[in-house]
Structure 1
Amino acid sequence: MWHAHTGKARCKVAGERFLTPPGYKLKSFPRATRGGGLAVLYRDHLLVTLNATFPFAHTTLELLQFTLTAPHHIHMFCLYRPPPSKKNKLLDSTFLTELPDLFDFCNLLRGKSIIVGDLNVHYDVPTHPLTSKVLDILNRFSFVQGVQEPTYYRSGHNIDWAVYREDDLLVNSCAVNHMISSDHAAVLCTLNVARPQRQPVYRTVRDVKAIDRDAFKADITAMLQELGPDVTAQQLEDGLRRLLDKHASATERRVRLGRTSPWYSAISGQLRQAKRDHIPTEDLSDAFSDFFSSKVQKIREELDSATPTPSSPFTDDVEQTASSFVGFRPVTEQEVKRVITKSAPKTCALDPIPVPLLVECLDELLPVITSIINSSLLSGTFPSTFKQSIVLPLLKKPSLDPNTLKNYRSVSNLSFLSKIPEKLVLSQLSDYLHSHNLFPTTQSAYRAPSRYNLERLKTTLNTK
């Protein structure tokens, strides 16, 4: 792939015939306004597709995609960035905005990618502001530059780039050849196009569907009788795990994975960066844990030091009441059952048994679950096993730097049973606030639609 100065149509055809050896094909994409453009020369037996239109803006780049579809997908991008001038009115800032879109596009494609071309960015001067910013973008998307020698004879700088992901194991070597007659040296990349050998993958599975429901329910009843009336949440979860191991023991099964699509996520980028910097992944997990813990501690300190205000414009419509909320009342088995059956049956890795199986055995488990919840409500102590969660750090916005911890928010996956007391407590608090008219009538966010808000919306719509 190269930059072709094709000229007029007649010269273009003659030039293509002259440049195309037997057994090869040549496809060129000349510029619409003046001479030059992009071209690709390839063996005629290869299964390839060409693409010159993209779902993102690239006003500062001439761009061509060449995809080899056998033995597996390899995407090669040829690009040229004209140097900014008063005539073309191109800006470095626009280029730095459009370049990440190209890497985002590469990471969403199935297969491996390599980007080659003349960026007119001096790779050999990393302290240059533009070069530094381009290298930051490459590092953010886990791409590396393979060309390490000067390629432009007039200035002696390295302005030709061949960037790729090291983890793809696509590029075996990248060398500069000075034997051609041009103001640029040739960049020769040797690619590993053989299909990689897949390692066997084993997963731990349980055949839950094969469990004899009657026998499982009978074992639950026997377990609860053995534990006695004062069963704790931890004892219940441990007992259910033992029964699941008995009726559907965990086995390792070899699974066949389909073709993977290389997708980019901030966490995988963090892990690859940690690997390059020789940072153990355990340290990265500890860094996230310490950061999120410090955020929680800071919020607690701010709440403790905050001075409550007696009133505000948003609470003036709240009625005063002499009543006070003294405590939570015990819940009935019917209330607990209603909340469980209305909850989404999503299973978390912390659940002792799959949630659908728990719902099937609800008649046997309902009394002990209700007892555990009532014990928590009356004692004011939340079971410690319900406080555990699996925390996933997610990038707040795709445009943010994934190497900065403050750009992440924590998402906690909780066990199914730990959410039931929360919903019952919310129900009791909401009933109390509603019965004493303690909700602000002007509040619309995080509230079910009320008659006041519906009437206000209707009035607003009628006045427009």
Structure 2
Amino acid sequence: MDLLWNERFWFPEGVTWEDLRNVDPNVYIPQIEDIGLLSIFIGFVLLIIRFLSERRGTKAGRRVIRHIHTVCNGWLRYEGHQLGVNRDNLVYIFDEILSNPSCSDEPCNDRPIPRRIKCIVNNRSEDALQTQSNAIPVRITQCPAIHSHRSLTPEHSTHSKVVPIIRRTQVINPLKLYTLNCRSVKNKALSVSDHIISNKIDLAALTETWLGTDIDSIVLGDLVPEGYDIYNTPRKMRGGGVALIYNKSISVRLLTSDLTFTQFEHLECAIISQNTKLRLCIIYRPPPSKSNKLCVTTFFEEWSQYLSVHALSPEEIIITGDLNFHLDVQQDTNSQRFIQSLHEHGLKQLVDQPTHVRGHILDVVVIRENSRLLQANPIVDDQYICDSNGIVSCDHRGITSLMKSTKPPRIQKTISIRKYRNIDVGDFEKDIASVLKPTSELGLDGIVDLYHEGVKAIIEKHAPTQTKTITIRPNTKWYSQELHTSKREKRKAERVWRRTNLEIHRQIYREKCLLNSKLLFRSKQDYYSTSILECGNDTKRLFKLTGKLLGNNTDVILPTSDNDCDLANRFGNYFTGKIQTIIETLQVQNSETGTSSNILWADVKYSGASLTQFYPASCDEIRKLIMKSPSKSCDLDPLPTHMLKQSIDEFVPIITAMVNKLSVRRSSQEVLNRRQ
């Protein structure tokens, strides 16, 4: 007998309930000849009906969610529940929900017929779903387009079991924005920098930086981690100021405007990262007082003008900073007026937790009302950023916002290295002795070429050049094992506090943060003290170290050029022309005073004793001079100085020959010139 699956029951093909009531064994079941067999058949059918009509549980119980195996179609209307299948039970296997076309009452013959779910789950409430894991295993496939012979609409009963394809909306490695009112970064720059590095923050919007003096370069050296840069808008007077610290792997461009505002400070930047383009606005509004003579009414006039300019930008927009309005107090007229101004421009404020230690919401994160830029509401958290004395001097909490944009890859750099440590000293000295054999017939140029080319070939043989790509990471040189242990204990205490949410655990976490801050400042102080002592009499190394400590930028930025040779010639012509200009200026001055124009070329006659005999230098003298000299090297040296000293016996003969050739030739030429 052919059976057809119809909803939840097995029926003989073409048979309905009315047919079963008037069943004729001679027509439908010719094999049945007596009432006993007919009773057995009807009982079997009723057993199947009962089995299929009941929802059966699993071995673990009826409340256990069973796995779903289904094929689905993506064009149907998305609903929270599909016949007991809650959307939270489906694994997000893609990136976003498929766009659904508008449903209408017109037939949709060209649309594929959806398949049914063979196994469903219990229709639980939303509250129950919040307490259980959403990662229920679900196998979802999409069936090919099978056209129906009937006209179907999305509201048709056969569509009740169709599950839409859901795409993943969470970014695995999202771009991270951090907002903080520092109340002066001068005494906590190192703590802020360490927080940026430890939490892998990409954009740090800082308000009330108190920067702008001549000594702030030292603060910026501590504040900006390696691999980051800063845009800073200081206040002309004391206090205030806004800044943005950003990862160099993100394209950030400072925006300028002709508009000026007197009631608040602002900084705007255009940010491009991966496929995200947005405008970031950092705002700081000081609280009105008699000294600053600020007015709330004037602020809202300027604020409305500011929003009118930036709300019309085509890209996404984020406005963050400290507005100093008690947004948690609904009865406050200024707060209501501020929220109303946002609604008038299609914006909304997302921060819903206190950002100040006194329990008020003063800092904001504002986006468009229909924006999907952020994954969720911003997270307000207190990281206990301390000063050098381990005292929490910041009265605001930080705000972390996760964007629906993947972090850009870290900046990579290609370098060329030679592994000198892997050189076999014995074989290296043998090659040097066999190649560097100067003869008396060679002149000075020949000896120099022999030394340079010979050493270069031997080095390439024993330590060939290797190209390596490294990733630039914002690491600190004073990061010690003691500091690593302290950070690990702090993170452990933080996890305990967040799991229990007890006050005692919060206090323990706070103490760990204070100890870590003290250790951070002490580690840096010890590192630089040791480094300065190691410099000794090396003034070049000392100036380089102090320049980095003071925040001086040592990056060399060359002009743009398509050809390196042309760029080098431009440099040479510049300095040659500069020297020629100085000479011409001196000649003009000499002509005006009546002095001979050839004074620059005039030579003073030597009146001392004549040196007529020169003795060549010995190998022992050259060896002593080389060993006394510091082990410094230049990029143009064919061999590092420390390796030359290590194999000094093989290099002394050819170096002595060069010195004697150079000295004797120059001295002889000078004697001839004197005699003339």
Q: Give the TM-score taking structure 1 as reference length.
A: 0.40
Q: Give the TM-score taking structure 2 as reference length.
A: 0.28
